[in-house]
Amino acid sequence: MPVAARSIGEALVTIAGRDRVRDDIGSLDAAIVDGLRPRWVVGPASIDELSRVIALAQDAGLAVVPRGTGSSLELGHPPSRVDVVLDLAGLDRVIEYNPDDLTITVQAGMAAGTLAALLAPHRQWLPIDPPGIAARTLGGVTATNASGPLRARFGGLRDLLLGVRFVQPDGVVTWGGSKVVKSVSGYDVPKLMVGALGTLGVLAELTLRLHPLPDSERSWLVPLDRPQAAQDFVARLIDSPLQPSRVELFNDNAARRLLAESGSAGVAVSIGSVADAVRDQGERLGALAKAVDAGVVPLPEGFWSKVSSAMEPPPGWTALHVTSLAGHLADTVDAIGDIVRTAASNADVRLSGCASFGTLRLLMGGASVAEMAAVTTRVRAWVGDVGGSAVIARGPVELRRTVDPWGPVEPGALGLMRALRNEFDPKRVLNPGRYVGGL
């Protein structure tokens, strides 16, 4: 092995240029991850630079934490080491967009809001809307498998990601999937990358399936204060011919935050289609609500972008992503309510979720770490019984040191995950320790 002639810092500068390698205290402090200050913040301007930075990191035994806008750095275990924070927001170019194909290839650092603005003139969109989506990078949304109300109709990133270019932990640039809407050529590598938190490779380029924007869209709130009534209503809705784009449940707190005094717990439904069909389905939604003795309240324009900010946890709050089943929606909401009342009685709680899938997002503020830990553990135990899970999507580092932020993974599946992690990143270059099972 050659003797070190220059420092790693100089090598990084050689690769990415002086402007894009920061090691001043201000930059490093701003990039602290769970209390760990990196030695460098590097912002590669090309996939080639990204690849060479990662190869260098592997050779030099450095730990790399990739970040887009940094909105999900409080996801997962605290990393065991942090040497380089990779700032990917500079990789934000469009690689290929032909509107007639309803697909686009972009670099992963592009903000979702930028993409939306680019697509809107062509009456197209990427129907994915986790809280705070506009500012988030597409790579970050993909790596964390974030989703929002639109999953009711369009599924998650796994249903929208067609192809992916990523940099493996040894620096090798790799492509998986295809650029067309339908392909079974080889393994479905893109799915493996969704929600992998960059532990098998840093996402560099994404080919995404787009959808046409509907001609018209309207939304209504069906106020239902009892969770069982909400579940019954949602069951009727799914059994009906209606095709809602969103079927989002809100608790009182969340609804009041969104709609002030007129807000109350219930299910917000949006319908997007040709104008006639929206009008027609709106009327039928009213009839369905009536059948459970509820009314419908038309929701104002801009309601869903308010949801996007209202369901982002304020600093110091915790977001718990709870996966249950549609058929257990009411039980789950009731159980969460009971658990919070007994384990964190003073907590401020906002709850929303995709009612037709049985996934819920629980925001908790004004609770101690011990209280939030107790809520997490007990909610996890409850949904575990119906095959669900509870993941801390965001939360203070002390909380994520106290309870496993991911929760249990079935042993056989975890064994396979460990085998993959060991195969592709034996030296733990990428996000060491952050992923499930401390991988």
Partner 1 sequence: MPLSGPFLQELERIVGAAGLVRTLEGRLVYECDMHTFYKGAPDAVALPRRADEVVEIVKLCRRERVPIVPRGSGTGLIGGAMAPAGGVMIGTNRMDAILEIDLPNRCATVEPGLINLSLTRAVANSGYFFAPDPSSQMVSSIGGNVATNAGGPHCLKYGITTNHVLGLELVTGTGELVRLGGKGAERPGYDLLGAAVGSEGTFGIVTAVTVRLLHVAEAVKTILASFTAIEDASEAVSAIIAAGIVPAALEMLDELMIRAINEGTGAGYPKDAAAVLLIELDGPAAEVEAQGERAARICWERGALEVRVAADVAERALLWKGRKEAAGAVGRLAPTYLLQDAVVPRSKLPAIMRELIAIGARHRVQIANVFHAGDGNLHPLILYDDREPEELERAKAANEDLLRACIEMGGTVTGEHGVGLDKAKNLPLQYAEADLNFMYRLRRAFDPDLIMNPGKLLPSHPACGEGFRPARPRVPDGAWI
Among 20, 52, 361, 434, binds partner 1 (CB under 8 A): 52
181 binds partner 1 (CB under 8 A): yes
Provide, rounded to whole angstroms, the least separation between the CB of residue 187 and partner 1.
5
376 binds partner 1 (CB under 8 A): no
Q: Which lies closer to partner 1 via its Cβ, residue 135 or residue 213?
A: 213
Q: Is the dihedral of CA 322, 327, 331, 337 positive or negative?
A: positive
Q: Which lies closer to partner 1 via its Cβ, residue 219 or residue 324?
A: 324
Range in contact with partner 1 (rule: CB under 8 A) among 21-29, 130-138, 167-175, 312-320: 167-175
What the block records as the tokens of 118 is 């680019």
Looking at the DSSP bridge assignments, the partners of residue 211 are: 125
Provide, rounded to whole angstroms, the least separation between the CB of residue 169 and partner 1.
11
Q: Which of 136, 33, 144 has its CA nearest to residue 84?
A: 33
180 binds partner 1 (CB under 8 A): yes
Provide, rounded to whole angstroms, the least separation between the CB of residue 1 and partner 1.
6
- Site size toward partner 1 (CB under 8 A) is 108
Q: How many CA atoms lie within 13 A of 318 on its CB side?
A: 29
Q: Which of 299, 272, 309 has its CA nearest to residue 123?
A: 272
Q: Which of 117, 128, 119 has its CA nearest to residue 101?
A: 119
Q: Which long-range contacts (CB under 8 A, 24 or more apart) does 23-28 make?
A: none
Kindly report the CA angle at 48 between 159 and 431, in degrees rounded to 5? 60
What the block records as the tokens of 345 is 């009685």
Q: Which lies closer to partner 1 via its Cβ, residue 66 or residue 171?
A: 171
Provide, rounded to whole angstroms, the least separation between the CB of residue 57 and partner 1.
10
Cα radius of gyration rounded to whole Å, the chain: 22
Range in contact with partner 1 (rule: CB under 8 A) among 164-172, 220-228, 300-308, 309-317: 164-172
Provide, rounded to whole angstroms, the least separation between the CB of residue 118 and partner 1.
17
Site for partner 1 in 312-351 (CB under 8 A): 323-327
Cα–Cα distance for residue pair 75/34, rounded to 1 Å = 10
Q: Which of 179, 188, 190 has its CA nearest to residue 95?
A: 179
Provide, rounded to whole angstroms, the least separation between the CB of residue 62 and partner 1.
9
95 binds partner 1 (CB under 8 A): no
11 binds partner 1 (CB under 8 A): yes
286 binds partner 1 (CB under 8 A): no
